Structure 1
């Protein structure tokens, strides 16, 4: 496998030789970050189109869950574990293959391109899919094989979501709210289960010594990430909170906004509360890989997902 990653290094070095691209690439890569999607999903759901916002949230959570399983399964290195980081490199706290930024860009922006009839939106979505992936290569976070695989997996997620989301939604609507809540909780556990199994299977795996040596030369305090469940636990909690919140709200009132000034005001208020829950509880709750820490992380993200769902509903 080392030979496969070695082949990717020259392309990484060529991309990084374009030093003037650092600032725009950092901005572009932020468009694939957790914070951006938190702000973006809330904006679309509350202020633009609630149905599209729900679809974006669900496909993003499904894509992220699958990406976490694949990362833990392959336990693939980052470029920084093979080469000394250059100026402009950014830190990453997970394994490399496939790139979550590239995968989620195809899933989310591909969905938006499918749902919108305007040509300029489709072109913008395509550009973002490509540029977000390339930004990860430029910033020395991924090999090109990571990005290419991310694009491919994102495309598969998009195709499956487009094919099965509507039938599954119709099946889900047949149940009572209590039953829907139970189903949402079970699905959240199912999203977590594959990653948990991989971590258990990989328990005896050791980080290769050459990776450790290269990384510690670049940053003595750094070390490759353990087999953490933080991302799948976050996804599971968000899924439960968001889906339950959507169903609770739909049983009480139509998803709509009235007036032209309400969306802007509601967004500012709503996103402020979202950030307080997301960042505030992160500061209060313990971090780590203990059952208590994971349980509180699940609760934290369930509250975030639930608030986005019911705090400031968007229009259909």
Structure 2
């Protein structure tokens, strides 16, 4: 039964999900409420189950409704992608979703993305954040067309385009760094280790080093943003195993110091995409622009 539905019905469905109300969705779309009610009823008949729970004030999607929302969004995005692909001449159009690591985006990405949007105003650039494994899964399941990760995931189904060389270093305020220089990993048990949480590659690398050297941090602290992590380090609250790029300015100004006697590890930030799936026109433009912005050649 699904073949009789067009994009308008799915757009209506998503508007109800986002607004939490049939009446607000109708107002947003410029429909009368009966049109929205009819389209949702038809979708529920096709699904064979209820898509919304009716609440005293508004509605919320059922489990089936939440599943349908994922496919409805993909359906609409594919339509936009197709429109962009079929427009072979003129200004590129369509949507492209990029998933990035927040710590890298904060330091390096917003300037290039602003220039990209100025050059291609017809492209709808959508940016989300995620750790390495989350981004790998988003690209593999086509929830994102491109991803930006701190290390090549080394998967046969993914293409990796290197953008920027970096390294993981132990960083702390100068006094704490000097103590760690003197005591090495033996100084970490008396120190807080600050990071981005268990889903983060940097935290996993720090845990591996601590395990190899038989060391354990006194306590742990996890922050969701690079700025929070930097402020925690600047306060002398702890040490962190982070990319040099995240604390580049603080290191250059002498506000933080890298601990040279503790291990550093190389990182190569880069773009990932599905190896055997051609990028949309918008996606190819974004890939080429980012490679150009970071001085890399396209292959």
TM bin (shorter chain) = under 0.3
TM-score, normalised relative to structure 1: 0.22
As a proportion of its length, which structure holds more strand?
2
Choose between structure 1 and 2 for higher RCO, CA contacts under 8 A separated by at least 6 residues: 1
Structure having the higher helix fraction is: 1
Please say which structure displays the higher CA radius of gyration: 2
